[in-house]
Amino acid sequence: MANSEVKTDSEWRAVLSPEQFRILRQKGTEPAGTGKYNKFDGEGIYTCAGCGTPLYKSTTKFNSGCGWPAFFDALPGTVSRHEDRSWGVARTEITCTACGGHLGHVFKGEGYNTPTDERHCVNSISLSFKGNE
C-alpha cells in the first residue's frame, strides 16, 4: 500500500488547497487550537484529506488538551512512522501510508489513560471525516 497515490507537486497543488499542500506535502503544522477536528466528537472514520484512505476510527480519538486532534491508534497498515530530526530532537513523524501525506507526530509514554500509551497528534487539515450513517 506504500505510496500508491504517486503525484507530482503540480498534481497535488491542483487537488489540495494551499494550506493542505503546505501541511500534507511540505510537512507543515497548523497553529494549535485552530483545527476543525480538535474538539470535534462525531462518530465515524477520519480519512486522509489527500487521498481518502481511512486512517482512524472516532473511537480511538481522545482529548489530550494538546491543541490538535489526538488518537491512540490508527487503522492497521494505514499510518507509517519515520524519524524526524527537523527541530534538532528525535521525533516520530506519521504519514499516510497510501500517499505519503504528512499527518503529524506520534508521542509515547506521556501517561494518557489509553490502551497504547501513544498520542497521534494530527493536523486537522490533514484529515477528512465520514460520519456513521
Neighbours of 38 (CB within 10 A): 20
Out of 48, 96, 99, 121, the active site residue is 121
CB 79 within 8 A of CB 119: no
Q: Report the pLDDT value the prediction gives residue 86, as an integer from 0 to 100.
A: 83
pLDDT of 2: 46
Check if 121 is active-site. Answer: yes
For residue 12, give the C-alpha cell. 497535488
Return the percentage of the chain with pLDDT > 90, whole number: 88
pLDDT digits (tens, 9 = 90+) for 77-117: 999 999 988 878 889 999 999 999 999 999 999 999 999 99
Looking at every residue in the chain, the average pLDDT score rounds to 94
Q: Is the pLDDT of residue 3 over 80?
A: no
- The whole-number average pLDDT for the span 60-77 is 97
Q: What span, in angstroms and rounded, lies between the C-alpha atoms of 3 and 130?
A: 22
Element holding 21 (H helix, E strand)? none
Q: What is the pTM of this model?
A: 0.92
Q: Which residue has the higher pLDDT, 86 or 31?
A: 31
